[in-house]
Amino acid sequence: MSERIVVKIGSSSLTSDEGGLNRARVDFFAGELAALHRTGRQVLLVTSGAVAAGFRKIGYPARPKQLHEKQAAAAVGQALLMQAYQEAFGESGIVAAQILLTRHDFSNRQRIHNALMALEELMRRGVIPIINENDTVTVEGLKFGDNDNLSALVANLVRAKQLIILTDTDGLYTDDPRRNPEAERIERVTEISERIMAIAGGAGSSVGTGGMRSKIEAARVAMRGGVQAFVGKASEPGDLLAAVEGRGRGTYFDTDSHNLSMKKQWIGFHSTPNGRITVDAGAARALVSEGRSLLPAGIVGAEGEFHPGDVVEVVDTDGLPIGRGVVNYASWQVQAAAGLSTDEVRKRVDVVRMEVIHRDEWVSFPR
C-alpha cells in the first residue's frame, strides 16, 4: 500500500480576515497537494472554511455566532469551497471528491466502515478525498469542535503514515514568539506532557475555531492511533513535501505505537462508555504495560448499568481513566465478582468468560 498522508488546512489559511475564499491560497495548497500526489503517495485533505467562505455571500457582516446562522453559512460556503478545490485540482488533472462527516458517523461502526470503504475506493482510483464536517446538520453538542480533531480521527481511520496540520505559525514554541524573542521552537515531541499542553496556549483566529492547543490535542489522538504528526507552516512551493519528508518548518510528533485496527479505534475513540470500572494498581499495570486481560481479582468497584458487549471506561483508584474495553460481564456480575480469585468467581458467579475485559477488546490511554 502506498504511503497515506492526511493534510489538514484551516479556515485562516484559506480565507481573508473579512471572510470569503482567498482563491490564490486555495490554488497554492492544491498545487502543493498535487505535487505530493505525484510522488505516488495517497493524499487525503481535511479542510475547514465552509462557514468562513459562505457568511459574506448571504449577508452576514461578520462570522455568525448562532448555530442556525453558521449552518446556513456552511450550506452556501461548502459549495463554494468544493468548486474552488475542483477547479484548482483540475489544473493538475486530479479529480477531487467531497466527503462530509459527523461525530455520529464515527460512533456508528457500520457507518464509519462504509465511509472507509468509499475512501479506499477513491484513493485506489487516484482521487483526492476532501473531508469536512457536515456543519449544516451537526448538533452543537456533537460537533468535533474544530477540524484538527477530525483530521486526527481520519488519519487513524485510514491508518495513515503521517498527519500534517498546516497553520500560520511554524510549529510549537517554548513561549509566544510574538511576545518573547527568546522563545525557541520545539523541533520534536515524543510525549505530550502537561508542560507541552500548557505552552500550547488557547484561542485561534477570528476566522477559524482552533488554536495551537487543539492542534496538539489532535496530534495526541493521532499518536495514540500510531500516526506520526506534524504541526507547522507551508507558505512556499515545496514546503508540504518538505514537511512530509522530515524537513518541514514546524514541530514533529513522534510515536512508537502501531496503527490500531478499526475495532480498537472505535473502542478507544468513538464509542460511548455505558459504565465505569475501578481497578487497583496491579490490574492497571497489567492492562496498560503488560498487555494482559482484566480479571475480577483486580477490580475495586463498578458504576453504572452495563451488559456484556457494552463498552466501559476503566479508571485507577485516583479516578484517572486508563482505557476502555468491551466488557464480558453485566454490572451486577462485576460488583459480585470484584476482588475475588478466579476459583471464587467460578463458585459464586455464572459467567461465560473469566476475563472481565479481554486484552483483544481493550485500548489503553497514554498516562
48 annotated to bind ligand: yes
2 annotated to bind ligand: no
151 annotated to bind ligand: no
70 annotated to bind ligand: no
Helix (H), strand (E) counts: the chain: 14, 13
C-alpha cell at 14: 484559506
212 annotated to bind ligand: yes
**54, containing H or E segment:** helix 50-54
**Angle made by CA atoms 25, 31, 32, in degrees to the nearest 5:** 90
Q: What is the largest CA-CA distance in the chain?
A: 72
Long-range contacts of 199-202 (CB under 8 A, 24+ apart): 199/172, 199/173, 199/174, 199/175, 200/172, 201/176
Rounded distance between C-alpha atoms, residue 7 and residue 193, angstroms: 24
Using alpha carbons, list the distances in angstroms from residue 213 to 180, 252, 327.
18, 15, 33
Rounded distance between C-alpha atoms, residue 91 and residue 34, angstroms: 10
Which residues lie closer than 8 Å to 188 by C-beta, 6 or more apart? 251, 252, 253, 254
209 annotated to bind ligand: yes
215 annotated to bind ligand: yes
214 annotated to bind ligand: yes
Which has the closest alpha carbon to 10: 33, 29, 24?
29
* Residue numbers belonging to the annotated binding site for substrate: 48, 135, 147
* Residue numbers belonging to the annotated binding site for ATP: 8, 167-168, 209-215
* Residue numbers belonging to the annotated binding site: 8, 48, 135, 147, 167-168, 209-215
